[in-house]
Amino acid sequence: MNGNIKNILNKKNKSKLVCLTAYSKNIASILDNHCDIILVGDSLGSVLYNYKSTKEVTLDTMINHSKSVRLGVKKSLMVVDMPFNTYRNPKEALKNAKLVIKKTKCDAVKLEGGKKIISIVKKLVKNKIPVMGHLGILPQTDKKFTFKGKKSLERNRILKEAKLLEAAGIFSIVLECIEIKLSKVITNKLTIPTIGIGSSANCDGQVLVIDDLIGLSESKFRFVKKYVNMSKIINIAVKKYKFEVLKKKFPNSKHSFKN
């Protein structure tokens, strides 16, 4: 077993897991000092490319960004999202997951879904490819983005699928926008860590999109907390740069070359 994955598993019931997304080396190298897990999320579709959904993200796009992120990750566990329509069956999933790991040297891949992907997860795990699961809101396929676990039938299904995924061999699972009590039940029932996004502090860890956290996006999701307003900071810096260029204060002799 991957040493980093063993460390993640060992933190269950002992220490909260810190997870954030990254799409480039520069950001990843900063996050690497603070995170247990760095996720190259297909959220880059909306964050970087303004796509309407993650369905438009390609395997090549994920691989290219992941290669950049890998350059900045030295300590954290690096996980890469498998994009939409790249794991429709076990054979396709294995081929593409192998390609992702070979090209990016990531530690694991993440797949969305429950009962439908059990055979796929088993195939990957059997071939020694570590898999992170994802239940609750599934951005790749869901049409309505409302929290999960309102009705008992849905609650029972999600809990059952979490157990099935664990039995299939996943090492952790992201719970997206799952009702507070249900996230607690799932976390207590599983022996693997749960990582929440909009699923309360009952999970074993938390994940956010880095651009949301630092205020570079216009995200209005309830579960997002903005820790700093980088948009404001960048605006101040650019305004100062503009002023100095117009006033011929930049570049000065310090920033120029002279024989």
pLDDT in tens, 194-208: 999 999 999 999 999
Q: State the angle between helix axes of 152-168 and 118-126 in degrees (0 to 180), rounded to the nearest 10.
A: 20
pLDDT for 220: 75
- Which of 176, 179, 218, 244 is the catalytic position? 176
* pLDDT of 8 over the 70 cut: yes
Q: Are residues 69 and 108 in the same domain?
A: yes
**DSSP code, position 58:** -
* pLDDT of 156 over the 80 cut: yes
**Least confident residue range of 55-59, 162-166, 214-218:** 214-218
Helices (H), the chain: 3-10, 25-31, 44-47, 59-72, 90-104, 118-126, 152-168, 180-189, 210-213, 230-246
* pLDDT of 1 over the 80 cut: no
Q: Are residues 145 and 250 in the same domain?
A: no
Q: How does residue 34 score in pLDDT terms, banded at 50, 70 and 90?
A: very high
* pLDDT of 94 over the 90 cut: yes
pLDDT for 104: 98
Q: Are residues 190 and 234 in the same domain?
A: no
Q: Are residues 55 and 128 in the same domain?
A: yes
Q: Are residues 23 and 10 in the same domain?
A: yes
CA dist list (Å): 231 to 68, 221, 237: 23, 18, 10
Active-site residue flag, 176: yes
CA distance 119 to 208: 29
Query: Nearest-CA neighbor of 17 among 47, 39, 42?
Result: 39
Q: Are residues 192 and 250 in the same domain?
A: no
Q: Domain containing 223: what range?
A: 3-228
Mean pLDDT of the chain: 96
Q: Are residues 219 and 242 in the same domain?
A: no
**Least confident residue range of 102-106, 143-147, 178-182:** 143-147
Q: Are residues 56 and 180 in the same domain?
A: yes
pTM metric for this prediction: 0.96
CA dist list (Å): 229 to 33, 44, 211, 225: 21, 19, 10, 11
Q: How does residue 193 score in pLDDT terms, banded at 50, 70 and 90?
A: very high
Q: How many domains does the chain have?
A: 2
**CATH for 67:** 3.20.20.60
Q: Are residues 223 and 234 in the same domain?
A: no
* pLDDT of 3 over the 80 cut: no
